[in-house]
Amino acid sequence: MDHSDEHCWSIGELAAATGVTVRTLHHYDSIGLLQASVRTTAGHRRYTRQDLQRLYGIRTLRSLGVPLGGIAAVLDQSGGGPESMRQLLQRQLDALGRQARQLEQLQRTIRELLDRINHDGDAAPAYFVTVLESMSMFENYFTEDQRRELAQRRTQLGRQATEDARTEWAGMVEEGLCQIDAGIPANSPEARDLVRRWDELGSRFHSSEGTKEAARAMWNENSAALSKALPWTAQQMQALVAHLQEARIAG
């Protein structure tokens, strides 16, 4: 192909323009990943627009976790045409979307920590451990779509409504524990009214049965760890959940 009328970059110019070091470009050349399409009569490398697009593909695939050894196969197999570039751009856009959602989750967690510090004056190390454990559990039990769904519901409710719901929930926990301590049966009007209000509160945050099932599974398998962040013991919370379930069945 004749590149005489095409703008070309020296290796130094390409490095300066793209933020890739000359050393890295030399390494890419040595392993056959990115070789300059043009050589001057003096033997100096000159990179074309097509080389620049290939470099973008390399950087994109690296950011997506593809090892250097596999990048050449991906780029060479796709042919480096417009369609391959479209696919690369779409993959990078999807990856950025996932990162953005992870950042949103991190922002919410930091706000909760700040609220705890602002309210109590401190956040004990055990609380940080509990938050980290909860984040890991959350990712294990809820799909990405479900996590996005829950985040959207919280956004729709707003921060004040979310805080009010937490206060309401804490009050219902105390009410339920009092019912257990007083020996009130699960089929009583009081217990059935409590579980009705409990489920209505949960529905504000869960717009699908899938997220409810995921939340129940996460609690059933990790109640002891999740209870660390609560002012009640795991045994109390387990007894309450059982009481509510019996009331739910009693109808």
pLDDT, tens digit, 9 for 90 and up, residues 12-50: 999 988 888 899 999 999 999 999 999 888 888 899 988
Q: What pLDDT is attached to residue 188?
A: 93
pLDDT at 123: 47
> Domains, the chain, ranges and CATH?
11-89 (1.10.1660.10), 124-250 (no CATH)
| pLDDT for 53 | 87
Report the pLDDT value the prediction gives residue 127, as an integer from 0 to 100. Answer: 46
Per-residue pLDDT, 241: 86
* Cβ(134)–Cβ(228) below 8 Å: no
| pLDDT score recorded for residue 47 | 93
**Per-residue pLDDT at 116:** 62
- Stretches where the chain sits below pLDDT 50 are 1-2, 123-133
**What's residue 71's pLDDT?**
83
Instruction: Provide the pLDDT for residue 174.
Output: 92
Convert the pLDDT of each residue in 83-112 to its tens digit: 766 776 677 778 777 767 766 766 676 676
pLDDT of residue 106: 61
B/e letters for 123-146, b = 16+ CB within 10 Å, e = fewer, are beeebeebbeebeebbeebbeeeb
